Structure 1
């Protein structure tokens, strides 16, 4: 017979897996005392002293009676002894408190694992509910030993960056030992390392007033480290080899020269403050310094970094919208931006802020006040003058830094002309030239770039002809002025047109939009300007070189733009992008989808400018052509609110209709509305989509309008109507024959599978979604493949095939993250949570649901709104299956996860 006893928390005993109840407190106390040290003989007097607070007369007879009754009620096989003492003959491994003590004595490499296993046995204070002397006397020793073990575990976990696990362990221990200053310090450090700096400060502040000076000192020092975001303290992550997720941080194409002191200042400033401003004149290299500092910070300081170029902004009121666009917030609201930036160690660089300084100061203040883990770096010609701001001056290469000016000039000269050998006379001329240009890096680069066509003496002479007044080279405008004076009229004319682009551009856009001087070639002129450093080449992931104007050059040229063709240029700009995006549309559902998304992101600013111009000029056809693709891009990027607002603005325009494209736009709007959980809005878009599709000659839109309508009917419980819609879709497919695009066939199969699933026909649903997956993979349709994974996973959960569901949903989530479609990834992971409940993994289910609560708000995804059937019922059931402590721990564990950490979790199932 196998006896097992639980003495942590409430008493419990089993024999061969069956409960073995004990009636009465004295019998429970007797068994507990004997089980405390199994196999060890306890004399009758020791047992009486340990069990009874006040022994009654005849206590020996009473003890014997209790023991006799226990033997009769199932304990005879293990309860031994008599006058010389009693013992409980069970294995120490079968009594939790005994096993716990053994594990605490583990030594060597397995010690931490032994201590962790011991902690897993602790389900509450030992002998809970027993009012016996031995129980009361033993509890302090248990707590002391547990405290020592947990501090050892916490130190090991903090050392390896397992801050979340360490914080959960220490939180549980602090419930039993409130006010312990050393536990509080370790707990706050673990919270800070897990990205919960605000909670860490709250924990410290709650106890500081009750502590003596000796205990208060270490906590005060920790508090200062958290406030200044000490990278050693906050840089620990669960993945020691993590890389920084960077967006907008330019890839350096040239070597970084000098600025060692400024880099150290930036690093120090970031360690002491959350707001750092790089201040210096135009052309001094603030942007390059900010990017270099961000890259050198690495994953030990930041988990993600964003750079927002503010030079395109004219109205300060647009600052928030531009930031929202870059960070891919769900809308241009403070709440949406804050949701994207909070909860992770994030650096937000607001570049070139001097012309919108007030708006930037206000936004930075509000974001820092709301976003835990956020640091903001600003580059500007003047400081924000805000509390807590650290200012790092960025000066030209003069004085002690003058040698850096020469090194920069020589480096860029070698890049532009191949020149690397200079005699002493030339070196003296270069030093003088660098002084004449006041050590401004941009001016030095512009001068060095001219060496491909001019001699050093001619470059120096062109600078000297810029003027003779003492301040002639003290401003960047002077350097740009003489640089432009060296251009030919066709080059000046082309530079003026290039300055009108809102963002970076490719040579195909230059050739399609810009009108060169007679006899000139637009591409060649742009390339010539790049060789002269007035146009900057960028790294690219698309296989085609892209370019941009430095903000200083763009601003200078725009201020002097006297051409009379600005309106015509913008007409050509909008028309070219409407044609270009139609070609991109064909790639969005093929193996070229990754490249297409990259191009859409690269042209984001110009595509928005093209839509705005089409709306302003009443060109409805062009606006709809642009929107037919952009709406789907916005849907994937989680830009739901802005996407719907823009769509409504365009569709409300008067003018000629293009039913097929409008149906495409409305279909994307229906998906975006579904993510936002607005059922009435979804219904409105579906109705308008059916009308547009019916008026079009596009079979794909008619098929999808019918099948999607079938889904709405199925969810509403209208089975006959749903079947009618599916029948109509089948007829449309038959009529279209081979002319129906593969992507439309994939979408129809996927949505049809979801309809059949909602109608309670899982076998038919799985047949449809499996075919959708097969066809989409063969065609390279990534969107179709991950959508098919999602619907297949839901169907498998419905029939309680949880393990299969996890596998295919995980594949869909990974595909979505590869496409930077966080909302779809979260949707798939949400159904994985339901599968976990089906598999009996309720702890994991609650952890995942909790993580999605936090991450969904950040990425514009609502689990309850988008997929209530796989959220409400399964989540409630999973939560009910856990006790209060386990539920709280799982919920907290999920709330602390980043999206990548959540993805790593589901890949372990």
Structure 2
């Protein structure tokens, strides 16, 4: 027979058939007898329990009736003795007795505690003695057993926390705390589980709620123990970190950041059997893998987590031996050790962590492949600077920590992973260290300079014992020399950043080392074609594509697949080391020469303005800006013609991006050191310098440079070049309001272009002639000229020219009073400029649109003019065509008059609206509305 009181009162026959205790009084009577635990109860006490202070007159007789009813189901187990009535219950028949036995025999080892208490708690089916009435002894039993159940729950949770099962406990503990808000131990356990799950803010919130409840409902304070726990959580006490499996080392410092990465790789590891974390030295692959293993723990891998550290392995044969020792597989005579390991782990749900595999990667690959094919429940987690390249491998590159933006606010910066790590390790290095609103910019600069590499940040933090943050930032120009640490707990390869990089470099073969050094010549990365050019002539080397692939696999190069073409780059510290290797090889000058030749050839293939691929090449030139600067800088010392060629062919980039001053400086430096004389490259350079000067508003310098370019081209007799120079002079003279000279220059440009059949040159001449005529007020002639220019630009597929001609036709239409036609032209031109990413052209159209709005919609007109003025200052591109300047001034005056605003002063910048927003607004609805 079985008796259950840990829930609704029940009696089960030996065959499991339920037996009904009968009426409510009989149920209460049975409950009282079961609670007596094989001890007799006097009849008087039974009567008191059943009816309290108001028993029936026939109480004894009525009690006998209920006892007789129970005997029908209990048989001779219910007996009458001189001391009273007793129900004989055998060992193991009452669930409450079993519960108490299991909870008191659980021991101390966490696994055993969880098993025993889990079994005992599994006996509970609901409220104690459900349906057994409200007799005093029944009510008391409910309270007593309910308290024992909560204590058992708390002990089981404590043991599970010790086993690292904090994440799985959060939801259960949240429900328990909601049901028992004043139970301190449960609140403390929930705080710890949340903290260990990376939810420290939520843990702090639980403490605040418990503290408030204590004060409001009990008028008391939390215990010293709970207050100490809350304080430890607030200061990130490392002793509160989640425990890991016994095979894993306990970190001396708290793991910081990477929570999203941990969640991602945990999910990946749940769907594959071999996961490899790759990355250069110092990215924290080992720390990340160990943290993941600790988080998963024996709950996921009940047959064990085994760590095999391979950094110290002297040969590939030791890989199998170390794994055998870790898992407890003993070598058997005549049987390969890999087979012995596979048999040992054949049915084990285990995780094997193979750490630092790059120098024994072939042996690891062979062993991993064998184990995966013979151990269906085994998972492998590998860290290596390159993939191990076996079937079924999932590779996750590990990079630096999350970095703040260079212009991040203090609040944004201190939330980033890299800054949090620097702050934590800095506080360890120097008591009282904090990153403050006064010093955070230096912290941001330090972390960004180090690419967020955890090892580099930790080594930098060690220097905070003797340097402040500003001094540390200033000394990071040579991080390989600065970033060392006297920390004997670190592996030797991690005590200095240089040692970490040497470890990786020593694993390369000769061709890989040679190309690695040569790639140091690039700045901020490179495309594959450039690497192939630089790698020309390497001795006994495979194709450069293969070498680049190997360097990517070995985490010495990082591919960037998001740009217009794939580019490869080195992290800053790796690049510094590569520069040292290039200098040591004695090839720096010859490689720099190759670098300069490549970028000269490359930039000469880039189209000038106007084609469909204008935006593509603008993005490419932007990404290669560091290389172009480096090539010009090197060429200025002995290869000035090369520098002049690069600067000249990239002049339009400087103009388009509003960097006229820098472009002018490169051209001036190259012109100053290049050989004098009449050469095509010099003529082009002078013309480019003149264009940049004009667009910067320095018309006098532009005219002077234009005339110098004219003299060179006339001496050369280059009619195509002359057409471009005359055009350049035409625009400059127009800006100077020397309109007669401008017309003369435009005619010369047309004649030269006609002689050589240059369709684009004829289009430019027609457009510029019409611009001068428009300035002279000869609108009908100007309209014909712009129409001719549009037809010619369309014929040679010059979309920038089309945009300019269409916009100019819009200006004519507006001045002739054809407002809707002007709007149509402006929007068509604006769309072309937007597609070409030509901001100055977009500004021309925005200002033209403002002119249309000035009288009827003055607020919108002023807003557009404010934005255009701000953006022109940003680009360094003031208006220079006279009638456009006059039209803008007229629009400003008209709009202000319409608003009856006081005169004086120009529009000021409106920081809340971007040019891109304005363009999108105009194109989407023909109007720009403030959101």
| TM-score, with length taken from structure 2 | 0.47
Greater relative contact order, per chain length (Cα 8 Å cut-off, separation 6+): 1
- Structure (1 or 2) with the larger CA radius of gyration: 2
